[in-house]
Structure 1
Amino acid sequence: MSPVPRRAGLALALAPGLPRPGRGQPGWPSRPIRILVAWPAGGSTDAVMRLLAGPMQAALGQPVVIENRAGASGSIGAAAAAQSAPDGYTVLGDASSQAANPSLLRGLAFDYATAFAPVTQLCVAPALLLVRAEDGPRDLAGLLARLRQGGGTYSSSGIGTAVHLAMAALLRQAGVAATHVPYRGSPQQVQAVLAGEVLTTFCTVPAAAGLVRDGRLRALAVSSARRLAAFPEVPTVAEQGFPGYAVTEWLALFVPAGTPEPAIARLAQAAQVGLADPAVQARLELLGMEAAAAGPAALGAFVAEQRMKLAEVIRAEGIRLE
């Protein structure tokens, strides 16, 4: 994944290539803007979109309304957005499923690659690689050595989730096999490690931070390209012999393909003004995320690269959502 900007000093300059608003859509916006969130109310994606709705509303001068359209790994909300008029008044708030779903799901009524225009990346959510502190390996090399002995298992918060794909990508790059045990959410996947039901897991920071600090879990690595400010002592996977490795959850805004460029530019700048607010950044940190502004061109290139990388892992591992 692309390097994550540091939280301090985040500004609009972090999004090079962002088009400037033009005059191709006079009077826009003149009515409320709807953000379709492809995930359930109360989840991390929903929380970020609601956090940014206020600053975006202030910047755009029109109400910004959040509407949850959850289900089918984000594809229900994406389908609704894809079928909406390309006028800038319907925005899709989505996660890394934008990159994974084309390979995970069959029979979609739309093509992720052509149905949407990128607006801006918002943030990333790195994951910690965890083992039980009491008797787990001391480092990533030790974990992989134990897995090579055979019979190793790992948990995730569900098939095809970012943490599942993070582990699948690591195992593939390391040439190691392990059995995946999916659970119904982050608390359950972490409890499985604590109880000794599985050897390891990649887990989002909020679900694991307290247990790491209490000494019940040991963090062996972080899945992002850079170390986390909250856990500076935990090395990245890439630092430990796997150059180029970086798999995280990420959130971004998209609009239906054909939306006028001036509207896209206004939406991107409104979101990035919100991301530059220190209070917003502090709240994102509590959610285990880091602000990562990027303009439409950069986001489009990033998503295309992620689709290619994840497709390779998903095909090789035979991962499928039915």
Structure 2
Amino acid sequence: MNHRLPPRPIARLAQGMLSSLLALAAVAGASTAHASDKPARAVSIVVAGPAGGATDGVARLIAARMSVTLGQDVIVDNKAGAGGVIGTKFVAQAKPDGQTLLLGHIATNAIAPAVHTPRPYDPVADFESIGFIGSTASVLVVPAKGPATLKALLTPRGNDPISYGSTGIGGTAHLLGHVFAQTTAAPLLHVPYRGSPPALQDLVGGRINMMFATAGAVAPYLESGMLKPLAVAASQRSRFLPDVPTFKELNHPGVVQEGWFGLFAAAGTPAETVRRLNQHLNTALADPTVRRGLEQLFVEVAPPAGPENFKSFVQREAAHWAGVVASSGVRTQ
């Protein structure tokens, strides 16, 4: 069966994303220009990574729309470094007034605090959870000439381990590989890289056997046929890869990792401010232009929910991944 992505050329995706941002920016500019009570200080959404990545794209879509509803400038502030720790810690230590926010995700607000020694921040106690934005599932991909099914991948090959690439030690792909090995008893060999591009290139070339990555990261390779997906690490099939089964369907229900995005503020931010920001976030997520833009990034938009629900979710995620990290023995400084 052909498991390539539905026809959605990458150039068209990028063009659609740019169109969404331009449309939102035009509306935001018109709105804030006429807001007589616009605060002098802009709200900043910190992205703990470089400009141009998926998290940055999500932040810019949200910021552009919230500029309209808040009636004040909302800017994106990229603070990359230390695997997301620098930017995330910056927000944890910011003044708790709702003016400095974090576009957090599974790596920054669930995994990094468990991996780093000493722990740089508490993913629950050091933040106010404003709201859930959306999620994107991890996909197990292999070279075009690799095994056609998960069962074939797991078929013993003598003493040879199954090599898998990741974006670095202690990252999401590394830890999901650990979960996969525990669940399937597969003899895995971890091969860490400095980011996705070199890992995916080696996967295409057959120098490693498999890799976990987001649909957005592997989309060009799936569309070109250079890689093929075997399973999705999600609770249900991805709308972006409807023909690819979940691990649960393949009798490995424990292999689940849905990358998620959410908005946070520093601990101590007044509850009323958190509720107000949550309302503006949910309004932004209901906007058709924002939803289209997030779709270009392969992000499933979360249903509207309050801060309490999101906080409970973050607590569960932090506890779960702390357990995974502990069982893996991975620690970085």
Using the size of structure 1 for normalisation, the TM-score is 0.85
Instruction: Show the counterpart of 1:119.
Output: 130
State the Cα distance separating 1:116 from its structure 2 match. Answer: 0.6
Instruction: Show the counterpart of 1:133.
Output: 144
Instruction: Show the counterpart of 1:5.
Output: none
Which one is further off, 92-101 or 102-111?
102-111
Question: What secondary structure is seen at the aligned counterpart in 1 of 2:65?
Answer: helix
Higher relative contact order (CA 8 A, sep 6+): 1
Instruction: Show the counterpart of 1:194.
Output: 204
Instruction: Show the counterpart of 2:11.
Output: none
- Within the candidate set 314, 318, 321, 2:325 is matched to 314
Unaligned runs of 5+ in 2: 1-36
Q: Which amino acid aligns with 2:131?
A: T
User: Percent identical across equivalent pairs?
Assistant: 37
User: Is 1:276 aligned to 2:289, yes or no?
Assistant: no
Distance 2:102 2:48 in 1: 7
Which one is further off, 139-148 or 229-238?
139-148
Q: Which amino acid aligns with 1:179?
A: L
Distance 2:192 2:254 in 1: 26
User: Is 1:172 aligned to 2:182, yes or no?
Assistant: yes
Q: Which amino acid aligns with 1:74?
A: G
State the Cα distance separating 1:219 from its structure 2 match. Answer: 0.7
Distance 2:300 2:252 in 1: 23
Are 2:131 and 2:307, in contact at CA under 8 Å, matched by a contact in 1?
A: yes
User: Is 1:69 aligned to 2:105, yes or no?
Assistant: no
Alpha-carbon spacing, 1:305–1:318, altered in 2? closer, same or farther (3 Å): same
Q: Which amino acid aligns with 1:85?
A: K
Distance 1:298 1:149 in 2: 47
Are 2:135 and 2:301, in contact at CA under 8 Å, matched by a contact in 1?
A: yes
Instruction: Show the counterpart of 2:170.
Output: 160
Unaligned runs of 5+ in 1: 1-26
Deviations 1:271-307 (A, max 9, x none): 1211112222222122122112443122111111112
State the Cα distance separating 1:181 from its structure 2 match. Answer: 0.8
Are 2:179 and 2:254, in contact at CA under 8 Å, matched by a contact in 1?
A: no
User: Is 1:55 aligned to 2:57, yes or no?
Assistant: no
Q: Which amino acid aligns with 2:330?
A: I
Q: Which amino acid aligns with 1:124?
A: S
Question: What secondary structure is seen at the aligned counterpart in 2 of 1:112?
Answer: coil
Are 1:74 and 1:94, in contact at CA under 8 Å, matched by a contact in 2?
A: no
Instruction: Show the counterpart of 1:288.
Output: 298
- Within the candidate set 303, 310, 318, 1:299 is matched to 310
State the Cα distance separating 1:246 from its structure 2 match. Answer: 2.0
Are 2:123 and 2:318, in contact at CA under 8 Å, matched by a contact in 1?
A: no
Q: Which amino acid aligns with 1:300?
A: K
Distance 2:158 2:258 in 1: 25
Question: What secondary structure is seen at the aligned counterpart in 2 of 1:48?
Answer: helix
Distance 1:50 1:210 in 2: 22
Q: Which amino acid aligns with 1:321?
A: T
Distance 1:159 1:315 in 2: 14
Which 4+ stretches in 1 moved above 3 angstroms? 27-31, 146-150
Using the size of structure 2 for normalisation, the TM-score is 0.82
Q: Which amino acid aligns with 2:224?
A: D
Instruction: Show the counterpart of 2:114.
Output: 103
Are 1:129 and 1:220, in contact at CA under 8 Å, matched by a contact in 2?
A: yes
Are 1:39 and 1:94, in contact at CA under 8 Å, matched by a contact in 2?
A: no
User: Is 1:225 aligned to 2:235, yes or no?
Assistant: yes
